[in-house]
Amino acid sequence: MSRELGQVMAGCVVLVTADRRSGELSTALARRGATIRYAPALTIVPHVDDERLIADTVALIAEPPEIVVVTTGIGFRGWVEAADAAGLADELLAAIRNARIIARGPKARGAIQAAGLEADWVAESETSAEILSYLLTENLTARRIAVQHHGAGADGLDIELDAAGARVASLVVYRWGPPPDAAAVRASVHGVADGEIDAVTFTSAPGAHAWLEAARSEGVLDRIVSRCRSGAVVMAAVGPVTAGPLQDNGIDPLVPDRGRLGALVRTLVGHYERLHTTAACTPAGRLQVRRTVALLDGHVLPLSPTGLEVLRLLVESAGEVVTRGQLLQILPGDSTDPHSAEVAVARVREVCGGKAVIQTVVKRGYRLAISGPSVSAAG
């Protein structure tokens, strides 16, 4: 990893809305300089305590399915663990061993293999729609099909298979519960609406839906959508299913090519590396100015808020002269003394390494020394 990449998210506040694996996601983003806020939109009810899952498993063992659809790797592992806790694991695996096993993606296939079974077909797109398209090529009338899914449901797969005449058994491995801290969720939606947060990550469709509903309840959803469309805040979803609720509300999130946390991190980091800066190439290196920090050659500059605004004005001017009068307009107070502007620039110049970066234009003002094309992006 390059030095600059290591700091690419410095000054960016990222909201993590996930309950499960939030620590892993947060650590990966924090390593790249991000400041993390937590507001899990939902909790997961442990599968081992789910009496309904056990009852449905007993019924499936009594009447083994002809086809088993595994929609999530963690869900399938959880199902086997729950069965094992109830003393039913061997019977469950025996009941589905002779069935045709269909996996929604590589992670589901990996969980199937870990249980000593083999997937007969894998939906490489990791979508229920691909599974449905595959199954509907055959006559499903009276076929016994078991569908393992998580608390969000199976994206209508159960309903469509039932409509095709199949006898569908739905195995819900874990269920979604209320957020662990409802006040934190409410504060988070206001934080996004008020411009305190730069990016929001989502790892499940139910979590995205719940967070958006919290924003709607608090009366700030329209403001959030507006900020997303302007680029002032970035939404990132781990996959197309998770992106669905966001897209339904007019938000176009970042979505990685592969539905993995690592891919989500790389996509968000890549976005900030390419776009979420006002940047300029200077003799001292690439200068990036963000909402709360500035970086020069990959290093965070120790600037005061006033210094940051002075530097932002110089960068946004893209090498054109900034007058002392323009500088006075962004300085705190109502001073008209040109010396105040000179002092402010001198402090910023010292932090940036001297006159090589900020040049004085005699009798006119100051300009940023540009050594290559500047890049300006709002978000």
In whole angstroms, give the CA distance from residue 17 to residue 201: 6
pLDDT of the residue at 6: 57
| Residues 163 and 195 occupy one common structural domain | no
Q: Are 146 and 60 in contact (CB under 8 A)?
A: yes
| Residues 256 and 369 occupy one common structural domain | no
Question: Structurally, how many domains does the chain consist of?
Answer: 3
| Residues 368 and 289 occupy one common structural domain | yes
| Residues 85 and 117 occupy one common structural domain | yes
Q: Could you report the per-residue pLDDT of 54-72, keeping only the tens digit for each?
A: 999 999 999 999 999 999 8
| Residues 269 and 359 occupy one common structural domain | no
pLDDT of the residue at 240: 81
Q: How far apart, in Å, are the Cα atoms of 115 and each of 57, 58, 72, 89, 300?
A: 16, 18, 14, 10, 48
Q: Could you report the per-residue pLDDT of 71-91, keeping only the tens digit for each?
A: 988 889 889 988 988 899 999
Q: Which two tokens stand for residue 249?
A: 């509300």
Please calculate the CA angle 236-103-202 and round it to the nearest 5 degrees.
15
| Residues 251 and 338 occupy one common structural domain | no
In whole angstroms, give the CA distance from residue 73 to residue 181: 27
pLDDT of the residue at 154: 54
pLDDT of the residue at 237: 94
Q: Can you list the residues of the chain whose pLDDT is less than 50?
A: 1-5, 276, 374-379
| Residues 303 and 345 occupy one common structural domain | yes
Residues β-bridged to residue 208:
none
HEC-encoded secondary structure of the chain: CCHHHHCCCCCCEEEECCCCCHHHHHHHHHCCCCEEEECCCCEEECHHHCHHHHHHHHHHHHCCCCEEEECCHHHHHHHHHHHHHCCCHHHHHHHHHCCEEEECCHHHHHHHHHCCCCCCEECCCCCHHHHHHHHCCCCCCCCEEEEEEECCECCCHHHHHHHCCCEEEEEECCEEECCCCHHHHHHHHHHHHCCCCCEEEECCHHHHHHHHHHHHHCCCHHHHHHHHHHCCCEEEECCHHHHHHHHHCCCCCECCCCCCHHHHHHHHHHHHHHCCCEEEEECCEEEEECCCCEEECCEECCCCHHHHHHHHHHHHCCCCCEEHHHHHHHCCCCCCCHHHHHHHHHHHHHHHCCCCCEEEECCCEEEECCCCCCEECCC
In the numeric block, the tokens 């398209």 are attached to 133
| Residues 68 and 34 occupy one common structural domain | no
Q: How far apart, in Å, are the Cα atoms of 304 and each of 278, 310, 334, 347, 348?
A: 18, 10, 18, 10, 9
Range of the domain at 25: 3-42+179-274
Residue 261 CA to its chain's centroid (Å): 9
| Residues 233 and 203 occupy one common structural domain | yes
| Residues 328 and 215 occupy one common structural domain | no
- Domain end marker among 253, 274, 295: 274
- Domain end marker among 131, 149, 176: 176
| Residues 255 and 327 occupy one common structural domain | no
In whole angstroms, give the CA distance from residue 261 to residue 24: 8
| Residues 107 and 169 occupy one common structural domain | yes
CA 320, 323, 325, 330: dihedral to nearest 10 degrees?
Answer: 50
In the numeric block, the tokens 């959508």 are attached to 225
CATH number of domain containing 305 = 1.10.10.10
Spatial CB neighbours of 208, under 8 Å, sequence gap ≥ 6:
17, 41, 202, 237, 242, 243, 244, 245, 246
pLDDT of the residue at 180: 93
In whole angstroms, give the CA distance from residue 75 to residue 84: 14
pLDDT of the residue at 2: 39
| Count of CB atoms situated within 10 Å of the CB of 300 | 15
pLDDT of the residue at 5: 44
- Compute φ and ψ for 146, nearest 5 degrees: -100, 130
- Domain end marker among 132, 157, 176: 176
CATH number of domain containing 91 = 3.40.50.10090
Terminal CA-to-CA distance of the chain, rounded, Å? Answer: 23
